[in-house]
A and B are shown apart, each in its own frame.
Chain A
Amino acid sequence: MIASSARPAIGRGLRLQWEPAQNSHVLLYPEGMIKLNSSAGEIMKRCDGQRTVADITADLERTFSATGLGADVEAFVAMAIDKRWLEIQP
């Protein structure tokens, strides 16, 4: 589980960017590329090491006029940390 006060950031050595040719956000790492689906892209682009998981959830809920995204965001962040796409700022 990931604490809602954690501040995730893009993992060291990775780069997140919008890629027009792929029409999606991609995560670049040495010798590879992960094409993110739109919700993963929306979450990851908010992971700047400043905002907490709770901030990110609130922002997404505001932006997409949704509620109850917390569990999905936390599950994604936990998975992304496991894959080293994200890391938690101390």
Chain B
Amino acid sequence: MSANPNSLLETPDAGPRADRPGPPLWLLFELTYRCPLHCVFCYNPTDFSRVGAELETEDWLRVLHEARALGSVQLGLSGGEPLVREDLEIIVAEAHSLGYYTNLITSGVGLNEARIQALKAGGLDHIQLSFQDSTRQMNDFLSSTRTFELKSKVAALIKRYDYPMVLNVVLHRLNIDHVEQILELAEQLGADYVELANTQYYGWAARNRDQLLPSRDQLRRAEEATQRFRDKPGQRMRIFFVVPDYFERRPKPCMNGLGSIFLTITPDGTALPCHAARMLPGIEFPSVRSSSVDSVWYDSPGFNHFRGDSWMKEPCRSCPERHKDFGGCRCQAYMLTGDAANADPVCDLSPYHHLVTDAVARADGARPPAEQPLIFRDHR
């Protein structure tokens, strides 16, 4: 799964924000929280093992139909590891026949010839292969051993079935110094696109933030190494480098504003306006088990809560940029300030901005921050 929700969004035309919102153009199915990996930077909720039973195949298919009728057009299939679901092929085929652009976001674990053949036949449009391994496995990857062999096999399959080879690598303090090696390996795998996505701090990544946040120096060196790679003669991979928002002075327009284009369905059927929103206190999010997608999107208090700007506090409420960045990320505001209606502290106009700059200053410190061990994603 992608650890970088905001890289998913390229702001399609969502229509006017006033009055009735536009349709949920972007539908993300988190089909399962089950995953063979244990990534320290996963944004799944840390209590994922307590989430209820997964939706049945027919539930997913019903949601596909209902959302498509409203105008949903992009379908992301993620998790957990979506290949764990044996009905993935059925869901893809139905989505394709309904006119969705289907995008599988996978670690590649479980992708074999039979499955990719069935997915291709069902009309899967796109595969994003992630190097989302745990740090232990990242070391393994960097030393070109077992993981690399698995990824090579999967990469070859993806190419053989005529998909562009799109690689997503999550960067953090412990691997960011290896950007050059990572790009060389990506090149060996025949990647067409590489996204170097710095970790964003949700779920497990938030728990591990101080160990994962790179220093400014590390970030600068990684950007320089990326540029050197881009400038190499004959270089044909397209490389995207996503800077962590902690180093910015204005927040990201998170999800293009909650409830404007993005609809996530979690494994148990809870509908969320962003992957992480379940953490927001005092807001009840609806379930597609008991509500139609239409009523989830247009009528539920959970989805209407952060629409428009009446929920905003100062400095957002009177800010001329409030319709550009929507005050940033509600989850980050909640995690760092305790109030989801505050400005995202990434913004230097936020009275809490020091919480972000302090974390960066600690990351810049000579001593590695906190002797606390990394917490690997696991059932707990």
Contacts and interface: CB of A to CB of B under 8 A. Distances in A.
Interface of A: 12-13, 15, 17, 19-22, 26, 28-35
B71 interface: yes
A85 to B, nearest CB: 14
Nearest to B101: A28
Tell me whether chain A's interface is mostly helix, strand or loop, or mixed: strand
A28 to B, nearest CB: 4
B73 A26 contact: yes
Those 3 A-B pairs whose CB atoms lie nearest each other, nearest first: A21-B71, A28-B101, A32-B10
B101 A35 contact: no
A31 B74 contact: yes
B13 interface: yes
A12 B9 CA distance: 20
Dominant secondary structure of chain B at its interface with chain A: loop
With most chain B CB atoms within 10 A of its CB, the pick from A13, A29, A35 is A13
A22 B10 contact: no
Given A30-B126, A31-B74, A33-B74, A13 B164 contact: yes
B163 interface: yes
B125 A15 contact: yes
B12 A33 contact: yes
B8 A31 contact: yes
B183 interface: no
B128 interface: yes
B125 A31 contact: no
Given A17-B99, A33-B12, A35-B12, A28 B74 contact: yes
A66 to B, nearest CB: 27
A31 B99 contact: no
B73 A33 contact: yes
B345 interface: no
Contacts of A30: 101, 103, 125-126, 128, 166
B195 to A, nearest CB: 10
A72 to B, nearest CB: 23
Nearest to A21: B71
Nearest to B99: A17
17 contacts: A12-B162, A12-B164, A13-B164, A15-B101, A21-B73, A28-B73, A30-B103, A30-B125, A31-B26, A31-B74, A31-B103, A33-B12, A33-B13, A33-B74, A33-B101, A34-B12, A35-B12
B342 to A, nearest CB: 29
Interface residues of B, number: 24
A86 to B, nearest CB: 15
Given A12-B164, A13-B126, A13-B164, A29 B12 contact: no
A22 B101 CA distance: 15
Contacts of A13: 125-126, 163-164
Nearest to A28: B101
A19 B126 contact: no
Interface centre among A15, A17, A20, A31 (most CB of B within 10 A): A31
Contacts of A19: 71, 73, 99
A31 B71 contact: no
Contacts of B7: 31
A31 B73 contact: no
B124 to A, nearest CB: 11
Interface in B86-109: 99, 101, 103
B70 interface: yes
Interface in B121-136: 125-126, 128
B214 interface: no
A29 B101 contact: yes
Contact of A21 (B10, B23, B103, B125): B23
A71 B379 CA distance: 62
A89 to B, nearest CB: 15
A44 to B, nearest CB: 15
B164 A32 contact: no
